[in-house]
Structure 1
Amino acid sequence: MTNIVYIATSLDGFIADRDNNVDWLHDIPNPDGSDLGFGDFMTRIDALVMGRNTLEIVLSFGIDWPYNKPVFVLSNTLTQVPDGLEGKVFLVNGPLPEVIQQLNAQGYHELYIDGGKTIQGFLQHDLIDELIITTIPVLLGGGISLFGELVAPLQFKHVKAERLLDHLVQNTFVRQR
C-alpha cells in the first residue's frame, strides 16, 4: 500500500492563491506541451482520493473528466455524485484510516492523494508514503498552504530532484518509518 501526493506549490508553499485560484500554475511556458511526468505517475496508481473542494476545482476547469482511474471524494456534505460522473466518482467519508482500509480491501493499494485539506489530514494520521512536489518559482504571499500542523514531526528521505522546463524543480520524498 502506497499513498502518494503529487502536487505543485509556490515557492512559499501554497497550492492555491488567496482566492482559491490555481491560474498561476500555468504561468510557466510549456512549448512542448509536456505533462511533466504526470502521465507516467498516473500509470503507477490504482485510484485517487481527493476532497470535495478539489473536486469542485477540477469541475470548474470546464474540460472533459481528466481521470481514467476511480476517484474517491471525501465529503461529509455531498449526497450524490455530480451528473455524468457516475461510475467514475465515488463518495466516501469517515475516519481516514478506515477509509484507506476500505479502499485497500477493494483492491486499491496505490493511491494518489490530492487536495490541501485532504493531504493535511493524511499527514496528521501519518498516512502519506511519498511526496512528489513540483515547485513553481512564484511567491503568492498567502493562500491555501500545502502543509498544516502536525502532532509530531514526520521524517522523509529526499530521493530525487529534477529540473523541468528550465523553471521548475520536482522533488520526490519517501517516508522514513
Structure 2
Amino acid sequence: MGRGTYEAGLAFGPWPHEGLHCAVLSGSLPLGADPRVTVHRDLGGLLSALQERGTKSVYVDGGQVVRTFLREGLIDRVTVTTVPVLIGTGLPLFGPTGGDVPLEHLETEVFGAGVVQSTYAVQPRA
C-alpha cells in the first residue's frame, strides 16, 4: 500500500491488517516508526524484499501503488467494489496507467444495499 492508504487505515480503530505482513511504499514515511509495517522507498526495494521472503502472492492497495504495479505488469487480478453512490467530483480510480488495461470478467458478487464486487483477470497488453 501507499502512504495515503496506510494513513487512512490508522483511523479505522483496530489495525485492519493484524497478523499480516504489510509493506508501505513511501518516500516520506519514517523507516521503522510503526512495527506493524515495513516501509520501502522504491518499487525495486519492495520487490526484492518480497522475493527474499519467498512471497508468492500479494494484495496491492492504494491508487498510486496499484497504478505502478499495473504499469510494470505485476498485477494479474483486479477486484473492484462498487457502492451505489454517484460522486460528483473526485479522482480517477487509479489514474493514468500508461495505456488501457484489458480485463476479463471472472465473477461478480452482490452484497446488501446494492454493493457489488467484480473480479477481473488482467490480460496482456497488445
Equivalent residue letter for 1:102: A
Taking structure 1 as the reference length, what is the TM-score of the superposition? 0.63
Taking structure 2 as the reference length, what is the TM-score of the superposition? 0.85
Q: Match for residue 92 of structure 1?
A: 40
8 A Cα contact 2:24 2:38, kept in partner: yes
1:9-60 CA distances to partner (integer Å, 9 max, x unpaired)?
xxxxxxxxxxxxxxxxxxxxxxxxxxxxxxxxxxxxxxxxx00111111112
Q: Match for residue 27 of structure 2?
A: 76
Aligned equivalents of 1:150 and 1:91: distance in 2? 23
Identity of aligned residues (%): 34
Note the aligned Cα RMSD (angstroms).
1.8
Structure of greater relative contact order (alpha carbons < 8 Å, 6+ residues apart): 1
Q: Following TM superposition, where does structure 1 have runs of at least 4 consecutive aligned residues deviating by more than 3 angstroms? A: none
8 A Cα contact 1:116 1:144, kept in partner: no
Q: Aligned with 1:149: secondary structure?
A: coil
Q: Match for residue 4 of structure 1?
A: none
Q: Which has the higher strand share?
A: 1
Equivalent residue letter for 1:90: T
- The unaligned stretches of length 5 or more in structure 1 are 1-49
Aligned residues: 123
- The unaligned stretches of length 5 or more in structure 2 are none
